[in-house]
């Protein structure tokens, strides 16, 4: 059996531009990944199947399995690589759904990594990235666990900056924030957005992190707060936690992250947020060399 972690994806910043001809948005973002998340397992089998378990399995299990990104990734790789074998896939869904931390995209990327190993597929990094983009704009970046600078609509992925050791507290106030309506509201509010800019960190150590956060933003955060004001409450609560370097919403929301320089501080923050009845977890961020 092959096992792959599908880590939570966090946008340290998200600068959104205009809609392209293909209907996707130009953007600039810095993705980082946790050392924990969903888990995808793949075992040899005659056909393709997918079982879904875990605390956030119910909504996915209620949908046709062929719509799940894990199964779609398996079908696409099987077809493109000419694979005759099947696989028994299992998704342990530990991260909340529609929460801005790339759960579906990370699951698809983990499935691709697992099946490439299981089926012994030979594929170039470029071809794999192109295949991943056909599944979703965030999937190419989620193939990696290191910090990556993402541009275009997600198809351009480059190595991100080296950051000091960081721990994160993720908190979701238990409200779904579907991506489509958030982007449509952004388009209505910003019909001619400026060209999104990449932020180059400066300084050393944790000054590099605070400087990065101070000189960037998430263009979707205000839209999400207008839909669900509790997101602002979570941001303020996390920012006020002892040891917090910064707090911001990830992606299209509603998950908020707080950055910390120690595991203990991030863990305390997560316990405090969970004590308010919100979903929360703490984890270490994967470094640039992982």
What are the residue numbers of the active site? 9, 138
Q: With b meaning 16 or more CB within 10 Å and e meaning fewer, what string describes 45-76?
A: eeebebebebebbeebbeeebeebbbbbbbeb
Q: In a 10 Å sphere around its CB, with 0-12 CB exposed, 13-18 middle and 19+ buried, how is residue 239 labelled?
A: middle
Radius of gyration in angstroms for the set of CA atoms belonging to the chain, rounded to a whole number? 18
Alpha-carbon torsion (208, 213, 215, 219), positive or negative: positive
Contacts of 175 (CB under 8 A, 6+ apart): 228, 230, 231, 254
């Amino acid at each position: 059996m092959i096992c792959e972690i599908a880590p939570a994806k966090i946008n340290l910043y998200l600068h959104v531009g205009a809609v392209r001809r293909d209907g996707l948005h130009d953007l600039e973002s810095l993705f980082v990944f946790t050392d924990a998340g969903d888990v995808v397992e793949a075992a040899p089998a005659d056909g393709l199947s997918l079982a879904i378990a875990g605390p956030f399995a119910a909504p996915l299990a209620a949908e046709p399995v062929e719509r799940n990104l894990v199964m779609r990734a398996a079908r696409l790789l099987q077809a493109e690589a000419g694979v005759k074998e099947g696989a028994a896939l299992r998704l342990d869904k530990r991260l909340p759904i529609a929460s801005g931390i790339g759960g579906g995209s990370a699951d698809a990327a983990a499935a691709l990594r697992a099946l490439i190993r299981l089926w012994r597929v030979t594929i170039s990094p470029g071809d794999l990235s192109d295949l991943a983009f056909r599944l979703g704009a965030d999937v190419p970046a989620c193939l990696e666990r290191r910090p990556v600078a993402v541009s275009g609509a997600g198809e351009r992925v480059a190595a991100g900056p080296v950051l000091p050791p960081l721990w994160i507290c993720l908190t979701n106030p238990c409200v779904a924030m579907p991506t489509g309506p958030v982007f449509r509201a952004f388009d209505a509010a910003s019909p001619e957005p400026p060209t999104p800019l990449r932020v180059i960190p400066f300084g050393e150590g944790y000054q590099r992190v605070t400087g990065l956060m101070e000189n960037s933003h998430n263009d979707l955060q205000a839209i999400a707060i207008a839909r669900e004001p509790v997101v602002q409450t979570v941001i303020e609560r996390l920012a006020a936690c002892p040891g917090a370097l910064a707090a911001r919403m990830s992606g299209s929301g509603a998950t908020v992250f707080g950055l910390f320089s120690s595991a203990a501080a991030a863990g305390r923050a997560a316990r405090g947020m969970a004590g308010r009845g919100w979903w929360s977890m703490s984890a270490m961020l994967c470094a640039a060399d992982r």
